Amino acid sequence: MDLFISKFFNKIDKKGRVSLPSSFRNVLPKSNRNEIILYKSIKSPSIEGCGVGRLKEIAKRINNLDFFSEDYDDFSTSIFSEIVTSNIDKEGRFLIPEDLKQYANIKTEAAFFGQGHFFQIWEPKTGLKNTLTSRKRLLEQKKSLRMILTQQK
């Protein structure tokens, strides 16, 4: 499967490394299988991770904004200036930089949540709470993908 799916909870070792779930590693392109791209989420206190393809899609969407607008500046600065690449070792472990761990309040354990074409890394309790909040919001507002996509046209 070519999507980041499911959720996983992994301990951070004494050297500050955490294992990227093997199913997530399998989604990364073969040419860059030992590297992930990490950046601060602009929607939540979490870290977003992806491969090069997703990053190119984000760049394409930002490039569609008015080049001289504040939106362009805000998105390009908030995402691209904060991107960190992290190498994955043979055992599937990588380092989460300290500033990203602080941003997401991650200390001894990291929770990985698949988001389709990208994934999020959360402090476990906060990540689970976010999952419950998202599901509750969908159920209360009786949202469906068809309804949302129809409204966007």
Query: Domains (ranges, CATH) in the chain?
Result: 7-124 (3.40.1550.20)
pLDDT band at 152 (very low <50, low <70, confident <90, very high): low
Tens of pLDDT, residue by residue over 65-113, are: 999 999 999 999 988 999 999 999 999 999 999 999 999 999 999 999 9
Q: Is the pLDDT of residue 151 over 80?
A: no
| Burial status of residue 30 (CB atoms within 10 A of its CB: 0-12, 13-18, 19 or more) | exposed
pTM above 0.85, yes or no: yes
